[in-house]
A and B are shown apart, each in its own frame.
Chain A
Amino acid sequence: MTQPVIFEIQRYRPEIEDEPTWESFEVSCRPEWMILDALNHIKDYVDGTLSYRWACRMGVCGSCGMLVNGKPVLSCATYVTSVLPGPVRVEPLRGFPVIRDLVGDITDFVRKLESVKPWIVRESEQPLEEGEYLQTPEELGEYKQYSMCINCMLCYSACPIYELDPDFIGPAVIALAQRYNLDSRDEGSEERKDILLSQDGIWSCTFVGECTTVCPANVDPAGAIQRYKVTATVDAFKALLPWASR
């Protein structure tokens, strides 16, 4: 029931080589295997130096994003059978400096994530004894989709803008900002404005929509960006009106 598959994997070991290289492995794959299972087979039984990240193996921790045949995917959620006959090319996600093999450096993403204040901002806190803030299912529905991001970076890897302009804060971070802006409990949208409307914010996006296409969590970052553009435009016009309060 196994099938031999050739994997061409991009290797980069900074202590050994100056440039990324390619290495081929032939693996007997079972039909129920994901790409990650094949990588684990190589690591455990063929070459322990192969390096990549993984944790949950159920598509929710966001660790194991990589390019498979040029497409950004979660390797734990992509069947080997879906990319046959091979050879199957496996590379690190585009857009991130490679630390080693399939491991990219995401520190820049984490800095951008922090920059939009992804937490509830309020003038005053309701005491805990008074219980929860009320939020109807409809109010929850306003932001729920944007709260589903698993920070897997597939959208950055797919985004042609990010590839050209690494300062662009990017799809997932804008969606996260919108997740809080649209939360009925939050009052922080003013504080997030500067960064969202900056040169590296929403206006960089030319609405290619690749981010939404590759998102494994159905977050629709492209929709989040478009929606914020509309909000920002309406706000800008309102501010021009003579009776607008300042």
Chain B
Amino acid sequence: METITHDILVVGGGGAGLRAAIAVAETNRDLSVGIVSKVYPMRSHTVVAEGGAAAVVKPEDSLEAHAYDTISGGDWLCDQDAVEVFVAEAPEELTRLEHWGCPWSRQPDGHIAVRPFGGMKLERTWYASDKTGFHLLHTLYQTSLKYESVTNYDEWFVTRLLVDEGRCRGLVAIELASGRPYAMVADAVIVCTGGAGKIYPFTTNANIKTGDGMALAFRAGVPLKDMEFVQFHPTGLPFTGILITEATRSEGGWLLNKDGYRYLQDYDLGVPTPEPVKRSMELGPRDRLSQAFVKEMEKGRTIETSHGHVVHLDIRHLGAEVIDTKLPFVRELCLKYENLDPVKELIPVRPVVHYMMGGIHTDMNGSTPLPGLYAAGEVACVNINGANRLGSNSLTELLVFGARAGRAAAEFAANGAGRANGAVLAQAHDEERRLQAAIERQGGRERVSGLRDEMHAAMDEGAGIYRNAEGLESAISTIRELQQRYGDVALDDQSRTFNTDLVALLELANLLDVAEAVLQSALSRTESRGAHQRTDHPDRDDDRLLSHSLAFRTEGGESRIEYDPVTITRWPPGKRVYGEQNS
């Protein structure tokens, strides 16, 4: 087994990983960086983000307002010291992206243009038309190519972290084209693999969002934080789950039930006005809008289709010109994937799994409890998103904390940490044997897709927008059973060259581990907060649970949940108020 050595390895070539790699290169050009990504970087899921990235830019806006919107949007589960760092560094990070060439949309005088987003008091979302993530990712990727100290390992799949004497010392990855595993050793590893939407059947997430980094860290003994908080975005296209951006609503779109009624007015989100009002109605936060959909469905006021219940998103009144200049991708997606023209027709939408607020437990420098291991982006949980992330904070988060993790790892690696020893290489050889056995296993009775389908059904049933103990317990027992049956999967594909059957098998193990952590964390949190709504515990309980959950993996594979208090600096827990009461 060959060994490859770098000072720092970045796992994942999306926005956070590229930003981290550039931060290392800019901090210290003597440090060699390897970016190990299971897809070419421009395929990463950052590419699909549409609406924009938040940072204070208008003179009438303030860092306090951005912090307050984020903290109240997160139902007071955000660590406020981290939020303060986040909002303070956000404008600089977005400006840096501008200097690197990001084609941000502009005002007539050449300054950056901003628009409002859900749960925001003022316009602070920078956007590049409605393909912001696409432009941000390509800008970062292309910029990263100018640093000679950065090497790309594209289409390499990481299967294990190497840990010795309480430190992360590298990883094992398979080069997909050849099927060869390599031991890759480094002084620091930064995990930036994104979310895990694929634990659910209906998600905006790309096929590649299988929680790989979360599972790698989890199995290396690092806790996963606040995993019960899964964001359902209120406006996904039925069947495909393709996201229709919140920008449709910030530009003035309406959500209508089957009677053409703007039903959000019945859910304590304000009164309807023709023009959009910030922090009101359709510009309420995502958790509240998705919950309102469920209530509306229970009242029999949604529309039944062959792909589930939907409501309508109406942007017809915006007119073709606004739609074509500010929301061209929305029109393209509707025409291409739904055969309808939103200039003339209503868009059917339903809530769809979109984002993991939880992730690898880190501090605000991306450090995990395992020395030498860092994480940033959706895979990590700092936690600045609390119990519900505000739209347009995630792109900014991956820049701010990708950069911070890169700088922290560079400092750590520069302090000379010592290289791989025999014990580390022995672990790598163990992993090589495990992979070989997985490929060669004969006579198994299970298929990857069969177990995955059962997992999807269990998560959909037990861990949706509303949960209760009974449903969660039942889902946990299903997942535990699937983890047992996983050992009985035999692959169709026993070759080495670009074996996507093997990748799917390894991803399935990651999905199951992450799903289990989500369920155990959700069962343990006996309150309702943000995106975590328990029908058997309908109220927020600050006395007991103003705390982050930490899921630790135990010997038996089951998660053990502990709690860590939330950091409050300037904004004591209060009631989340949206609608006219707020203005």
- Cβ contact within 8 Å between A60 and B109: no
Q: Could you say which of B100, B101, B499 has the most chain A C-beta atoms within 10 Å of its C-beta?
A: B101
Whether the pair B495, A15 counts as a contact (CB closer than 8 A) is yes
**B152 closest partner in A (C-beta):** A110
Measured in the bound complex, the distance between the Cα atoms of B112 and A97 in whole Å is 43
**B143 and chain A: residue at smallest CB distance:** A119
- B582 partner residues in chain A, CB cutoff 8 A: none
Interface string of A74-106 (1 = CB under 8 A from B): 000100000000000000000000011101011
B108–A49 contact, CB under 8 A? no
Query: Is A150 a contact partner of B42 (Cβ separation < 8 A)?
Result: yes
As a 0/1 sequence over residues 132 to 143 of chain B, the CB contacts with chain A under 8 angstroms (1 = contact) are 001100100011
Q: Is the CB of B95 within 8 A of A120?
A: no
Is A44's CB within 8 Å of the partner chain B? yes
Most chain B CB within 10 A, of A43, A52, A110, A147, is at A147
**Distance A53 CA – B525 CA, assembled complex (angstroms):** 39
Q: Quick check: is B96 within 8 A (CB to CB) of the other chain? A: yes
Whether B315 is near chain A, meaning CB under 8 Å from some CB there, is: no
Say which residue of B43, B105, B497, B501 sits within 8 Å of A48 (CB atoms).
B501
Q: A51-B498, A103-B498, A110-B154 are in contact. Are A58 and B100 (CB under 8 A)?
A: no
B449 at the interface (CB under 8 A from A): yes
A126 interface neighbour in B99, B106, B177, B491, Cβ under 8 Å? B99
- How close is B98's CB to chain A, nearest CB, in angstroms? 5
Q: State whether A143 touches B449 (Cβ < 8 A).
A: no
Interface centre among A54, A58, A117, A125 (most CB of B within 10 A): A58
User: Roughly how many angstroms separate A134 CA and B103 CA in the complex, as a whole number?
Assistant: 11
| CB of B417 closer than 8 Å to a CB of A | no
Closest CB in chain A relative to B130 CB, distance in Å: 11
Per the 8 Å Cβ criterion, residues 25-70 of A in contact with B are 32, 43-45, 47-49, 51-63
Q: Using Cβ atoms and an 8 Å threshold, which residues of chain B touch A139?
A: 110
Q: Is A231 an interface residue (CB 8 A)?
A: no
> For the complex, what is the distance from the CA of A187 to the CA of B75, rounded to whole Å?
47
Q: Within 8 Å of chain A (Cβ to Cβ): is B337?
A: yes
Residues of A within 8 A of B524 (CB): none
Question: How far does the Cβ of A64 sit from chain B's closest Cβ, in whole Å?
Answer: 10
User: Which residues of chain B are within 8 angstroms of A53 by Cβ–Cβ distance?
Assistant: 39, 43
Least Cβ–Cβ distance between B239 and chain A, in angstroms: 6
Q: Judge whether A71 is part of the interface by a CB distance below 8 angstroms.
A: no
Give A183's nearest chain B residue, CB to CB.
B101
A60 to B239, CA, bound (A): 18
Chain A residues with Cβ below 8 Å from B496 are 15
A58 and B495: CB pair below 8 A? no
A60-B134, A125-B99, A136-B106 are contacts. A51–B500 as well, Cβ < 8 Å? yes
- Residue A242 lies at the interface, judged by CB distance under 8 Å to chain B: no
Chain B residues with Cβ below 8 Å from A62 are 42-43
**Contact assessment for B92 and A140 in the assembled complex, using a CB-CB cutoff below 8 Å:** no
A120 and B145 form a contact (CB under 8 A): no
Size of the B side of the interface (Cβ < 8 Å), in residues, is 60
Q: Verify B45–A56 contact, CB threshold 8 A.
A: yes
How close is A27's CB to chain B, nearest CB, in angstroms?
15
- Which of B40, B98, B242, B501 contacts A132, CB < 8 Å? B98
Q: Does B121 contact A (CB under 8 A)?
A: no
Does chain B have a CB within 8 A of A192? Answer: no
Compute how far the CA of A139 lies from the CA of B110 in the bound complex, rounded to whole angstroms. 9
User: Complex: how many Å from CA A143 to CA B180?
Assistant: 42
Query: Which residues between 416 and 449 of chain B lie within 8 Å of chain A, taking CB atoms?
Result: 447-449
Q: B207: CB under 8 A from chain A?
A: yes
In the complex, the answer to whether B47 meets A57 with C-beta atoms within 8 Å is no
Q: Does B493 contact A (CB under 8 A)?
A: yes
Are A59 and B336 neighbours in the complex by a CB distance under 8 Å? yes
Q: Which residues of A contact B88 (CB under 8 A)?
A: none
User: Of the candidates A57, A119, A137, A140, which one forms a contact with B142 in the assembled complex, judged by CB atoms under 8 Å apart?
Assistant: A119
For A180, the chain B residues whose CB sits under 8 A away are: 101
Contact across chains for B208 and A55 when beta carbons are under 8 A apart: yes
- The answer to whether B106 and A99 have CB atoms under 8 Å apart is no
Choose among A63, A114, A185 the residue that contacts B39 (Cβ–Cβ < 8 A).
Answer: A63
Q: Please judge, given known A-B contacts A48-B447, A62-B42, A62-B43, whether A135 and B240 are in contact too, CB under 8 Å.
A: no
Cβ–Cβ contact A58 & B333, under 8 A: yes
Residues of the A chain whose Cβ atoms lie less than 8 Å from the Cβ of B145? 113-114, 118-119
Checking B106, B110, B336 against A77 with a beta-carbon cut-off of 8 angstroms, the contacting residue is B336
User: Chain A, 128-171, contact with B by CB distance < 8 Å: what is the 0/1 string?
Assistant: 10011111110110011001101100000000000000000000
Residue of B47, B109, B143 touching A56 (CB-CB under 8 A): B47
> Is there an interface contact between A140 and B103, defined as CB atoms closer than 8 Å?
yes
A15 touching B48, Cβ below 8 Å: no
Q: Pick the contact of B112 from A49, A126, A132, A143 — CB < 8 Å?
A: A132
A113–B220 Cα gap in the complex (Å)? Answer: 37
Q: Which residues does chain B contribute within 8 Å of A100, judged by CB atoms?
A: 497-498
B544 at the interface (CB under 8 A from A): no
Q: Quote the shortest CB–CB distance from B209 to chain A (angstroms).
A: 9
A169 to B154, CA, bound (A): 21
CA distance A147 to B177 in the complex (A): 29
Q: How far is the CB of B489 from chain A (nearest CB, A)?
A: 10
Our pick among A51, A60, A137, A143 for the contact of B131 (Cβ within 8 Å) is A60
Closest 9 CB pairs of A and B: A48-B492, A134-B110, A44-B449, A118-B142, A49-B493, A55-B206, A100-B498, A48-B501, A120-B101
11 contacts between A and B (CB under 8 A): A53-B39, A56-B45, A56-B206, A58-B337, A77-B336, A77-B337, A120-B99, A128-B92, A132-B98, A132-B104, A140-B105
B interface residues, Cβ below 8 angstroms from A: 39-40, 42-45, 47-48, 92, 95-96, 98-101, 103-112, 131, 134-135, 138, 142-143, 145-146, 152, 154, 177, 206-208, 239-240, 242, 332-333, 336-337, 447-449, 491-493, 495-501, 504
A120-B101, A147-B103 given. 8 additional CB < 8 A pairs? A59-B332, A101-B498, A128-B92, A133-B99, A137-B106, A140-B106, A150-B134, A186-B101
